[in-house]
């Protein structure tokens, strides 16, 4: 694992399943596009929220269920496996103890909790169901995406609990996030740590983009960090790359690209790369790149720094001046940063390309050869 220099930290489808079992299904997707309040019937929910085949069971329960016994002629069927998981407490509210409220939004509340099965801390995202007869497709969307993402730099979904009143997602608990990390470092991170966190952010994002999944809400608060400095992307608003247009209200203001601020609803993975550039700048300098309080002010800050927005799709944005960058960022760092917040979306460097940038050379070649399940 790549070390992080001292800085206080604030306390495709699975085998055996048909594509229809994994995805939302064409009817649900079409309804999501046409009607954001579409409700999935209860009889469809259980199938769509089924636990992933490789859910991480505690070793003592693996031994109890003899899931790894060579005497078993073949793997347990999905139905048998679900029944066994239910027997030991998965999928049940009483398995988890709520400790502290971490945050609350319009449709969901997040709690710090503890699992009675493992005694480990967890994060409980409780989504309120507004209609008794079904679950909102925003919740179905999140689960459908998260349950199939397995990467060291993406938050792990451990369990799902569906009741008439709520849908609870049980995530691994991480102690902090990049925003708190910056605050407790006095907004002055070591440049080694900037590089390590930037690499982890790009690694998780590249994994999502290869699977045609957008993050849509990149900000320091969504890079979760544990006490070892290991970062994982939270994906509360992850979404498949759209084939039709959607609302332009999709990204936190400071990290929102100008094309979206100006009303564009046609976007793909480059929407995330603008935010990556803003986060890189914030880590390196200790201050946000474009801290606008309104859309108008946000655009003003962007235009003042990068020049006038091109009125023609054939007009290129002005070249960046390195003068606005903090002196702590080296030449390679400046080169990477200036390839991210570009007016023309298709000109922004991709997450995969950014990982191969010379800026990350000092981390060594081995970090590029790690399997998805391993930390740097």
| C-alpha torsion sign, points 289, 294, 299, 305 | negative
Q: Choose the catalytic residue: 177, 217, 259, 272.
A: 217
Whole-angstrom Cα distance, residue 123 to residue 111? 6
Strands of 96-104's sheet, edge to edge?
96-104, 108-115, 121-128, 166-172, 157-162
3-state secondary structure of 154: strand
Whole-angstrom Cα distance, residue 161 to residue 51? 10
Whole-angstrom Cα distance, residue 39 to residue 37? 6
Residues 6+ apart with CB under 8 A from 364: none
Whole-angstrom Cα distance, residue 318 to residue 306? 7
Residue 179 is labelled as binding a ligand: no
3-state secondary structure of 41: strand
Whole-angstrom Cα distance, residue 326 to residue 228? 27
3-state secondary structure of 126: strand
Are β-strands 239-240 and 223-225 bridged in parallel, bridged antiparallel, or unpaired? unpaired
Whole-angstrom Cα distance, residue 197 to residue 225? 9
Q: What interhelical angle do 137-146 and 26-34 show, nearest 10?
A: 130
Which residue in this structure is represented by tokens 């078993």? 72
Annotated active-site residue 217? The verdict is yes
**Residue 332: C-alpha distances to residues 10, 242, 290 (Å):** 30, 33, 22
Whole-angstrom Cα distance, residue 335 to residue 195? 14
| Positions at the binding site | 125
| Positions at the binding site for ATP | 125
Positions marked active-site:
217
């Amino acid at each position: 694992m790549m070390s992080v220099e001292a800085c206080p930290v604030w306390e495709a489808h699975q085998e055996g399943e048909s594509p229809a079992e994994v995805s939302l299904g064409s009817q649900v997707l079409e309804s999501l596009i046409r009607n954001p309040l579409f409700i999935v019937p209860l009889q469809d929910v259980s199938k769509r929220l089924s636990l992933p085949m490789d859910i991480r069971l505690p070793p003592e329960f693996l031994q109890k269920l003899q899931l790894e016994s060579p005497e078993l002629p073949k793997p347990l069927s999905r139905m048998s496996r679900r029944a066994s998981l239910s027997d030991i407490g998965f999928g049940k509210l009483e398995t988890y103890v709520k400790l502290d409220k971490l945050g609350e939004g319009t449709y969901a509340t997040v709690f710090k909790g503890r699992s009675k099965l493992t005694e480990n801390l967890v994060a409980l995202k409780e989504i309120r169901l507004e209609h008794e007869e079904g679950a909102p497709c925003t919740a179905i969307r999140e689960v459908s995406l998260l349950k199939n993402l397995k990467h060291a730099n993406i938050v792990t979904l451990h369990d799902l609990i569906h009741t008439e009143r709520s849908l609870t997602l049980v995530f691994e608990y991480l102690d902090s996030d990049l925003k708190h990390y910056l605050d407790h470092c006095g907004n002055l991170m070591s440049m080694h740590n900037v590089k390590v966190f930037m690499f982890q952010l790009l690694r998780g994002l590249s994994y999502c983009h290869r699977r045609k999944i957008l993050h849509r809400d990149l900000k320091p608060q969504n890079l979760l960090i544990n006490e070892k400095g290991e970062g994982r992307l939270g994906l509360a608003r992850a979404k498949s790359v759209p084939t039709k247009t959607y609302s332009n209200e999709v990204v936190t203001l400071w990290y929102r690209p100008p094309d979206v601020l100006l009303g564009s609803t046609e976007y793909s993975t480059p929407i995330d790369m603008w935010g990556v550039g803003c986060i890189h700048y914030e880590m390196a300098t200790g201050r946000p790149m474009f801290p606008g309080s309104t859309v108008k002010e946000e655009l003003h800050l962007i235009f003042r720094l990068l020049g006038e927005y091109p009125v023609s799709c054939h007009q290129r944005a002005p070249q960046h001046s390195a003068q606005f960058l903090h002196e702590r960022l080296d030449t390679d760092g400046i080169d990477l940063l200036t390839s991210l917040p570009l007016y023309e979306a298709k000109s922004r460097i991709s997450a995969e390309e950014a990982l191969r940038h010379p800026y990350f050379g000092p981390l060594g070649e081995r970090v590029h050869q790690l399997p998805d399940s391993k930390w740097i």
